[in-house]
Amino acid sequence: MVAVEFEFATAARIIFGPGKLKEIGSIAAKLGKNVLVVQGGNPARTQPLLSAVEEAKICFSSFEIRGEPVIEDIVQGVRKAREAKCDLIIGFGGGSVIDSAKAIAALTTNPGEVVDYLETIGSGKPLTSAGLPCIAVPTTAGTGAEVTRNAVLASRQKKVKASLRSPYLLPRVALVDPELTCGLPPSLTASTGLDALTQLIEPFVCVRANPLADALCVEGIHRAARSLQKAFQEGNDHNARQNMALASLFGGLALANSGLGAVHGFAAPIGGMFPAPHGAVCAALLPYVIEVNIRALRERATNSDALIRYAKIAIIVTGSEKADGSDGVEWVRNLCHTLKVPRLQTFGISVTNVALLVEQAAKASSMKANPIVLTHEELTEILTRAI
């Protein structure tokens, strides 16, 4: 019998369901009296939350994140939280907003500079104090950031993304209301949805897979396979939106407690060097990473459990018990075509960037969990084909 060992950590409380946003006032009132609401670039979307907070007689101020967060955004957010003497942070938005809220909550109570705590480009110092309580309310179904213990921040100076990582970044409450994703534009539904699918596939086949994360991945892949295209085509289909919100949540739980792979290994340096949304990058890379991984496993690791797992994914997404990994690749490729996934060249990436991006991706933390170590040539092939 093979010994099984793993650790599983997540948000202290997860609340899921249509219409759950209406409970935010009473939930927040138990955690703080002076709130900083971290929101995206469309304040009108945040109005229902602000109204609920106001009705609960909680003081609040707002802080806006436009696009993916940079270190300077977090510095400003921490300054605002301290000056306003906030005792609670609420993040309301996509993964970028929620990562920002988590980082602001954690760093408001810890001394020093943001970069002191960042991996790769900073000192990587551990956070020593618990952060302010944080409530994460996602408005997209993609990153699962509401249940992860890291925040990805970009450095303009170094043109790279780095993670702030600590158990103290886990939100006190993750409130997932799938109704908040209804009406999202098709392009955003596609990129975030394929990010969610990636974050279910990669933890399932990675070298740090574990039984608890496996169960979440299998259920999440089932839901995404039957609902992502529907959500893309019919944005107000409540059942499809609910399934994708669950898929995103399960993906966040899985990746935070197992690992990722080559898709996210590439996404980190690409996101640092180019104005490319994380979800769109993952979507463009996904079919090529799966295809090359399966081929490499068949050539160099024929007894790998990951081959069995890729076949299981294929059976789930195609609905055919006879499907194998190659059928899964074809299904993902067709899905990306249907969802009109743009190629990486859309974001200014060209073949002249391949060598540097491959070099950086090979050293990325996510790459270490890929089911097989890919050669320089294989990494180059993946990126070239995605461009």
305 and 337 together in one domain: yes
- CA dist 342 and 332 (Å) reads 14
CB of 293 closer than 8 Å to CB of 201: no
What mean pLDDT is predicted for residues 302-323? 97
Residue 164's pLDDT band (boundaries 50, 70, 90)? very high
Boundary of a domain, candidates 125, 148, 180: 180
The model's pLDDT over 198-255, given as tens digits with 9 standing for 90+, comes to 999 999 999 999 999 999 999 999 999 999 999 999 999 999 999 999 999 999 999 9
What average pLDDT does this structure show over 125-141? 96
- Strand-strand pairing, 134-138 and 88-93: parallel
Say yes or no: 311 and 196 in one domain. Answer: yes
Contact status, residue 172 vs residue 229, Cβ threshold 8 Å: no
Say if residue 270 is in the same domain as residue 343. Answer: yes
**Helix-then-strand count for the chain, H and E:** 13, 8
- Give the CA angle between residues 5, 144, 78 to the nearest 5°: 105
Is the distance from CB of 247 to CB of 190 less than 8 angstroms?
A: no
pLDDT at 382: 98
Confidence of residue 162 (pLDDT cuts 50, 70, 90): confident
Does any domain span residue 5? no
Asked if 174 and 267 sit in the same domain, the reply is: no
Question: Is 122 a residue whose pLDDT tops 80?
Answer: no
User: Comparing 11-15, 168-172, 271-275, 312-316, which segment has the lowest mean pLDDT?
Assistant: 271-275
pLDDT tens digits for range 29-83: 999 999 999 999 888 899 999 999 999 999 999 999 998 899 999 999 999 999 9
Domain that holds residue 338: 185-386
Mean pLDDT for 325-354 is 97
What pLDDT is stored for residue 1 in this prediction?
59
212 burial type by CB count under 10 A (0-12 exposed, 13-18 middle, 19+ buried): middle
Does 189 lie in the same domain as 140? no
Question: Amino acid identity, residue 32?
Answer: G
What pTM does this model have?
0.96
* Residue 134 and residue 68 share a domain: yes
The answer to whether residues 329 and 352 belong to one domain is yes
Are 279 and 167 in the same domain? no
190 and 159 in a single domain? The answer is: no
Residue 287: the pLDDT is: 97
- Do 163 and 234 have their domain in common? no
Averaged pLDDT score across all residues of the chain: 95
In a domain, 40, yes or no: yes
Task: Indicate the number of domains in the chain.
Answer: 2
For residue 161, give the CATH number of its domain: 3.40.50.1970
Average pLDDT score over residue span 352-372: 96
Q: Is residue 1 part of a domain?
A: no
Shortest CA distance to 311 belongs to which of 204, 223, 220?
Answer: 204
H-helix segments, the chain: 24-29, 43-55, 71-83, 95-107, 186-205, 211-233, 238-257, 262-273, 278-300, 305-318, 325-338, 354-362, 376-386
Point out the domain boundary residue: 180, 196, 226.
180
Q: What is the CATH number of the domain that holds 309?
A: 1.20.1090.10
Secondary structure class of 65 (helix, strand, coil)? coil
CA angle 302, 306, 309 (to 5 degrees): 120
In a domain, 340, yes or no: yes
Same domain, 242 and 266: yes
Residue 3 domain flag: no
Q: Which of 180, 214, 246 is the last residue of a domain?
A: 180
Q: Which two tokens stand for residue 326?
A: 């190659």
Query: In sequence order, what are the beta bridge partners of 64?
Result: 39
Same domain flag for 176 and 64: yes
